[in-house]
Amino acid sequence: MKVFVTGGAGFIGSHTCVELLNAGYEVVITDNLSNAKLEAIENIQKIAGKPVSFYRTDLRGLEGIRRIFAEHSIDVVIHFAGLKSVPESMRKPLEYYENNIGGTFALCQAMREAGCGRIVFSSSATVYGMNNPVPFKEEMPASATNPYGYTKVMIERILTDLSAADPQWGVVLLRYFNPTGAHSSGLIGEDPNGIPSNLFPYVSQVAAGLRPEVVVYGDDYDTPDGTGVRDYIHVTDLALGHLSAVRHVLEHTGIEAVNLGTGQGTSVLEIVSAYSKACGRKLPYRVVPRRPGDIAVCYADTEKARRLFGWKAQKNINQMCADSWNFAKNRYLK
Ligand code: WQD
pLDDT per residue of the chain (334 residues) written in tens, 0 to 9: 999 999 999 999 999 999 999 999 999 999 999 888 999 999 999 999 999 999 998 877 889 999 999 999 999 999 999 999 888 999 999 999 999 999 999 999 999 999 999 999 999 999 999 899 999 999 999 999 899 999 999 999 999 999 999 999 999 999 999 999 999 999 999 988 889 999 999 999 999 999 999 999 999 999 999 999 999 999 999 999 999 999 999 999 999 999 999 999 999 999 999 999 999 999 999 999 999 889 999 999 999 999 999 999 999 999 999 999 999 999 999 8
The half-sphere exposure of 200 on its side-chain side, counting CA atoms within 13 A, is 31
Query: Is the Cβ atom of 267 under 6 angstroms away from ligand 1?
Result: no
Beta-sheet strands, E only, within the chain? 2-6, 26-30, 53-55, 76-79, 118-124, 170-176, 178-180, 214-217, 229-230, 232-234, 254-260, 266-267, 285-288
Distance 253 CA to ligand 1 centre (A): 34
Nearest Cα neighbor of 107 from 78, 140, 143, 146 is 78
Compute the distance between CA of residue 84 and CA of residue 118 in angstroms, rounded to an integer.
23
Whether pTM exceeds 0.95: yes
**Best of 291, 295, 317, 320 to mutate for ligand 1, by most ligand atoms within 8 A of CB?**
291
What single letter denotes the amino acid at residue 154?
A: M
Name the catalytic one among 96, 128, 148, 150.
148
| Atom 28 of ligand 1, residue of closest alpha carbon | 198
Neighbours of 304 (CB within 10 A): 18
Compute the distance between CA of residue 103 and CA of residue 272 in angstroms, rounded to an integer.
37
Residue 170 vs residues 51, 111, 254, 265: alpha-carbon distances, Å = 27, 12, 5, 31
Whether 148 is a known active-site residue: answer yes
